[in-house]
């Protein structure tokens, strides 16, 4: 008989036993368990999107004194000083990271393509902080990259703690991204198909339920916490006729060509900065100086452009004014990304696409098409240009549907984005994210899981039990 005294299990060991045993087995059991995890991930994504948006707005108010930076009438030294100070702050962060972290930070697409959904939560938080600093001080980047990064990081951390299978890990990372985009735009279908097309790379019945659940929960949570999303009112839109598809398709081709030029411009600036003698920590300051100088011409180039998008949708602006604003925003976005500001081109591409659509609306009567409202062309251009930069034609189609609520316009958008996607894929072959992977030497063209192929070596395939003579 054992003489060891009885010891009650501690609370920590109790939870360790649950986490390592029955709880883990429960969440590895089937689809229903994955949906439960998707609810948790969606709730976290909604809260994080609301928090990040609030922090960025607080920075706008603290630095510039306004909430909607891109729709303000700011003038004077603060317009130039804001991005420069942000560049100094970000440069200090980059300098510290260069001394403390040597491995490159992985984003959700790369994590799902190469690492089986494994994503560092610490790195994701660092990327998110950099994104908040960049956007908050006026750099021409959006917050969507930070949203998806940190939400996917939380999802990956949860999956790692539960030791989920590789396929389930990839779905859970997709749930984080779906929830983030859904909460950011008040658009659950957009978030779902963003994850399907860009983060997971394939559509299956198994993935659909958790992705939709995560997107819906995130959208509800973000809506309860703060005002979110954008709406575009299209009043009195006419019935779509077969002839209306011709200018929509042509606009899709135009957006594809300009999108490819913008992606190459960003990579050219990055490569020029990399080959120069300018140290990494100094590049954001110089980039901020350029962005600030452009903002002196028009403050609409600052930040992601939420306010500027609404400001220009219904405004009567001349052709030269629209072209000038597009060139300013495109230059500011390319310089911001190329000079190491953290963020993405998701919303910037929507804003620039709306400008292209209005430019096209002014030119359309000269080629025999002028019956469609300019705001309709703005929506078509917005979705098509974003499809060229970000990828995901169905994602951008559902975004147009959820922003306008107009099915007939959505049909034109679908024709345009499919055209854009086809042209970009056949002539260029990459979206913005996968193009930057290509420049780093990676062979990723989507989020399809090719990591297991890289890990498969000849040595792992050979049998070790063969008798040798």
User: How high is the mean pLDDT in each 10-residue block of the chain (469 residues)?
Assistant: 52 50 64 90 96 94 89 86 95 92 84 86 94 94 94 94 88 96 94 94 88 96 83 70 88 95 90 87 94 94 88 85 94 93 91 94 75 84 94 93 89 95 91 73 64 62 69
pLDDT at 103: 81
CA distance 289 to 184: 29
- What is the reported pLDDT for 53? 93
CA distances from 209 to 9, 43, 204 (A): 38, 16, 10
| Token digits of residue 130 | 């950099």
Strands (E), 206-337: none
Give the residue range(s) of CATH 1.10.3080.10 domains in the chain: 27-225, 242-439
User: Per-residue b/e over 248-262, b at no fewer than 16 CB within 10 Å?
Assistant: bbbbbebbbbbbbeb
- Exposure string of 147-159, with b = 16+ CB inside 10 Å and e = fewer, is bbbbbbbbbbbbb
CATH superfamily of this structure's domain 242-439: Clc chloride channel (1.10.3080.10)
**What per-residue confidence (pLDDT) applies to 18?**
45
* Calpha distance 188→220 (Å, rounded): 10
pLDDT of residue 110: 86
The span from the CA of 402 to the CA of 30, in Å, is 31
Residue 88, pLDDT score: 96
Q: Which CATH class is domain 27-225?
A: mainly alpha
Give residue 416's pLDDT: 96
CA distance 452 to 113: 9
Question: Looking at residue 25, what is its pLDDT?
Answer: 65
């Amino acid at each position: 008989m054992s003489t060891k005294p009885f010891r009650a299990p501690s609370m920590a060991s109790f939870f360790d036993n649950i986490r390592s045993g029955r709880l883990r087995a429960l969440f590895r059991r089937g689809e229903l368990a994955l949906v439960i995890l998707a609810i948790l991930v969606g709730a976290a994504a909604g809260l994080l999107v609301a928090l990040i948006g609030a922090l960025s707005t607080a920075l706008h108010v603290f630095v510039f004194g306004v909430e909607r930076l891109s729709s303000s009438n700011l003038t004077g030294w603060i317009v130039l000083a804001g991005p420069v100070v942000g560049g100094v702050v970000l440069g200090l962060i980059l300098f510290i990271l260069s001394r403390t972290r040597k491995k490159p930070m992985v984003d959700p697409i790369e994590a799902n393509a190469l690492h089986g959904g494994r994503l560092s939560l610490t790195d994701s938080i660092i990327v998110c902080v950099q994104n908040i600093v960049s956007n908050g001080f006026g750099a021409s980047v959006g917050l969507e990259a930070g949203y998806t990064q940190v939400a996917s990081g939380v999802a990956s951390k949860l999956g790692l703690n539960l030791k989920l299978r590789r396929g389930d890990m990839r779905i859970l990372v997709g749930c984080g991204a779906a929830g983030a985009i859904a909460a950011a735009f008040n658009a659950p279908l957009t978030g779902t198909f963003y994850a399907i097309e860009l983060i997971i790379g394939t559509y299956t019945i198994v993935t659909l339920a958790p992705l939709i659940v995560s997107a819906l929960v995130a959208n509800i949570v973000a809506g309860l916490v703060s005002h979110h999303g954008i709406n575009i009112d299209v009043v009195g839109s006419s019935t779509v006729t077969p002839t209306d598809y011709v200018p929509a398709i042509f606009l899709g081709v135009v957006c594809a060509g300009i999108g490819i030029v913008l992606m190459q411009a960003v990579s050219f600036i990055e490569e020029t900065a990399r080959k120069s003698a300018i140290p990494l920590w100094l590049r954001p300051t110089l980039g901020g100086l350029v962005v600030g100088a452009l903002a002196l011409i028009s403050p609409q180039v600052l930040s992601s452009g939420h306010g500027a998008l609404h400001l220009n949708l219904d405004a009567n602006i001349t052709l030269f004014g629209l072209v000038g604003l597009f060139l300013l925003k495109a230059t500011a976005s390319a310089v911001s990304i190329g000079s190491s500001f953290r963020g993405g081109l998701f919303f910037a591409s929507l804003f620039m696409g709306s400008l292209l659509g209005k430019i096209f609306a002014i030119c359309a009567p000269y080629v025999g098409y002028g019956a469609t409202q300019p705001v309709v062309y703005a929506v078509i251009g917005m979705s098509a240009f974003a499809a060229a930069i970000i990828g995901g034609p169905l994602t951008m189609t559902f975004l147009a549907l959820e922003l306008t609520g107009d099915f007939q316009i959505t049909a034109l958008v679908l024709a345009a984005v499919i055209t854009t996607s086809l042209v970009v894929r056949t002539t260029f072959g990459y979206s913005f994210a996968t193009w930057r992977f290509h420049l780093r030497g990676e062979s990723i063209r989507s989020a399809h899981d090719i990591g297991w192929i890289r890990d498969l070596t000849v040595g792992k395939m050979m049998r070790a039990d063969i008798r040798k003579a």
